[in-house]
Amino acid sequence: MPLALTTVFADVPDPRIETANKLHKLTDILVIATCAVIAGADGWEEIAEYGQSKEDFFRRFLALPHGVPSHDTFERVFAKLDPDAFADRFGRWMSELCDSTGLTHIAVDGKSARASAQDTFTGCLHLVSAWATESRLILGQRSVPEGGHEITTVPDLLAALDLNGAVVTLDAAGCQKATIEQIRKQGGEYVVCVKGNQKGLHDAVADVFDMAAEAGVGHGREEERYVTVVQDPDGWSDVGAVALVCRERRVKGQKNEGTGHYYITRLRVSAAVLAGYIRNHWGIENGLHWVLDVAFREDDSRARTGHAGANLGMLRRVAVSLLKRAKTKGSTKTRRMKAGWDDNYLLQVIPGITAQ
């Protein structure tokens, strides 16, 4: 059974100092914020306003000894709250929700919030997410630290995940020897994109296909549509196959030469299966990142105080996950509005909330 939402945050470290001015329970603050973002709130004032307008509803399962906090309280708490601990509690809950769906494929990718300036490699807040492609749930998140890069953030995110029996797909930022070894040590498999930033590896993979072409169709070479796989390439330890994915596009009915991307994996599977992993990896772009920009206006978010931006980003990702699982018609934006209007619908969207 899913964890009750009120227990998800039970062991999140409270960043506040114990003083007489500490009026609100941390769990109350986190639950209200989670519900508010699902129900259409995009900032701290909107979160507080939603909580205050729904105070009777929240008193069904929260203590609220001093009522609903102000927007300043929400912002201060989320600015100080440890974003890794916060994300990991959500990830644990999401894993419970997707147990019944047989989790196997985890896509790892990063996204920037353009309006939230920070000293990262993109010049703004950059969040790296782990997305369960089949169950469409967020499993974890890490924010790139000041002066940091996505390349060094991916291993931190992976370390917080249970990779046993999982296939992890990554873009070129994850194409690092240490990252691949970490996935294997944690019990997972990998499918990793190889681009020009790894010139030596990129050229070596290209040579595999040149040699396979000279040798003919043998040597485990398979083709399906525009995916070519060479299995068990000579001289490659711990690599089961290399793949070439060619994409063509049409402009005004005319077929143009497409681009090609190389991938390496330990899996020994057909071109069709490998193509599925590669195609589904981009579900994180269409199923998560695009929705965050269109339905949640993440690129417009200016939350930048302390950890506020990263924590609010995690709330949005949880909201996307739960709204997508709701068995109702309509866009994500429409579902958010319905969650704000209809308390019973909100309870359907958030599994595990129960009245005490």
Cα torsion through 299, 303, 305, 306, rounded to 10: -70
Judge whether residue 224 has pLDDT over 70: no
pLDDT above 60 (res 260): yes
Instruction: Supply angle C-alpha 251, 252, 256, rounded to 5.
Output: 30
Contact (CB, 8 A) for 228 and 271: yes
- Note the pLDDT tens digit of each residue in 145-194: 988 899 999 999 999 999 998 999 999 888 898 999 999 999 999 999 99
Q: Say which residue, 285 or 168, is predicted with more confidence.
A: 168
The tally of CA atoms less than 13 A away on the side-chain side of residue 179 is 24
Owner of token pair 């009245």: 355
**What pLDDT was estimated at residue 215?**
58
Tell me the pLDDT band of 1, cut-offs 50, 70 and 90: very low
Work out the average pLDDT over 212-234.
Answer: 65
Q: Is the pLDDT of residue 220 over 70?
A: no
pLDDT of residue 246: 81
Query: pLDDT-based confidence at 247, cuts 50/70/90?
Result: low
Q: What per-residue confidence (pLDDT) applies to 212?
A: 64
Note the pLDDT of residue 108.
Answer: 95
Query: Quick check: 312 pLDDT over 90?
Result: yes
pLDDT of 168: 96
139 pLDDT higher than 90: yes
Name the token pair of 328: 């109702």
What pLDDT shows up at residue 214? 58
pLDDT at 197 over 80: no
Q: DSSP states of 52-108 as a string?
A: HHTHHHHTTT---BTBSPPHHHHHHHHHHS-HHHHHHHHHHHHHHHHGGGT--EEEE
The crossing angle, in degrees rounded to 10, of helices 308-325 and 71-80 is 100
What are the pLDDT digits (tens) for 321-332? 999 888 788 899
What lies within 8 Å, CB to CB, of 298 at 6+ separation is: 111, 113, 292, 313, 316
Task: Write out pLDDT tens, residues 4-22.
Answer: 788 889 899 999 988 877 8
Q: What is the pLDDT of residues 47-85, one digit of tens each?
A: 999 999 999 999 998 999 999 999 999 999 999 999 999
In this structure, are strands 105-117 and 254-265 parallel, antiparallel, or unpaired?
A: unpaired
The reported pTM is 0.85
Output Rg (C-alpha) for the chain, integer angstroms. 22
State the burial class of residue 253 (Cβ atoms within 10 Å of its Cβ: 0-12, 13-18, 19+). Answer: exposed
- pLDDT at residue number 157: 96
**Rounded mean pLDDT of 287-292?**
90
pLDDT of 233 strictly over 70: yes
Q: Which domains does the chain have, with CATH numbers?
A: 5-81+326-349 (no CATH), 86-289 (3.30.420)
